[in-house]
Structure 1
Amino acid sequence: MTDRRTLVETPAGPAAISWHRAAEPRLVLALGHGAGGGVEAPDLAALAAALPAGGVSVALVEQPWRVAGKKLAPAPKTLDAGWLPVVGALAAEGLPLVVGGRSAGARVACRTGAAGGAAAVLALAFPLHPPGRPERSRAAELLGSGLPTLVVQGEQDTFGTPAEFPPLPAGHRLVPVPAAGHGFKVPKSAPLTQQAALGLVTAAVADWLAGLG
């Protein structure tokens, strides 16, 4: 069941939550978007459509800068300030909370997950480094999440392929998506269809969430 979009006040301005609720929820998954798009991203939409049937209520979170109609994402400190009050509102549901997002949203979740009281972190298309700049690694954010963390990464992601990731600590897991880029888009020549690629993403996340104790 999809609820109406609701606003949450934050120090960075109002953020927005679009709920996709499970009939009998056992946990809440909060998902933030990237710096180049919103919650309509195909992977976020696919998870919001698929997971409620398994008892996972999905909250798609629009950062204040998107709600305000701006085109450029602010600095990480401002992104974190626009996220944590939303996490607090979601925790009021009284269910275990998993935080995550795609790209920049994954970074926010990794930086703030433990402080926000989350049980785990989901990192979709984690931007390990800017394209072509592997020396500017953001691995410390991922490795330092301090929580069980699932990374789902396209094998052709220009922001970091699965092979570029450092050894992950206990509790972290990385699932590659064959032939997929940063938005999990696959070329027509790929050995799997676009629908199949998104299906791999949703299946990996559903299996991981089912195993969280």
Structure 2
Amino acid sequence: MTMILPVLIFSLIFSSSNAAVQDFCVADLTLPEGPGGYPCKKQAMVTEKDFSFSGLATLGDTNNLIKAAVTPAFVAQFPGVNGLGISVARLDFGVGGVVPMHTHPGASEVLTVVDGIISAGFISSANAVYFKKLYKGDVMVFPQGLLHFQINSGKSTALAIVSFSSASPGLQLLDYALFGNDLPSELVEAVTFLDAAQIKKLKKVLGGTG
């Protein structure tokens, strides 16, 4: 028995030191994404560029309907995060800018205000509302899959950095889900209690038909 224990310990150490360890799986974006992410790029083809991303240094274009811009650093833009369960994005808000009610089916989100004043909140599955006005340096978390939003509440532009618990967090905007497709207006009217004229107006603005 006294000899068996040291031999067993040595065997475990030896086997673990020779086990195949995969430090990372940089996405091969030439291949389709699967449920577990993208296939790994051949290690001989991996460079330091796969692990860095400069896009968040650029101001987003807020000259649009929502007066806001999202610059993602998800796996499609930043292959090095593939399989790591993380990603980030930049949020730029013009005066009056808003990121409308939306969900991320695949990730929780953490928002950090870099500049300006941002009012943000989410709605729980019990329809409880959690809403807060955030200032520079403040942080707020949005649990996975819950409807949430961000609004520029200040009198100047605002900037935030958001991080996610997935390399591909996914996105569904509620307004576009209701009014940006070809779902017949009478069905939208039935499930939203909005009148037909308002639905047609919103469909026209958001590109929907029917």
What is the TM-score when the length of structure 2 is the normalising length? Answer: 0.30
Structure having the higher strand fraction is 2
Structure having the higher helix fraction is 1
What is the TM-score when the length of structure 1 is the normalising length? Answer: 0.30
User: Which structure has the higher relative contact order (CA within 8 Å, separation 6+)?
Assistant: 2
- Is the radius of gyration larger for structure 1 or structure 2? 2
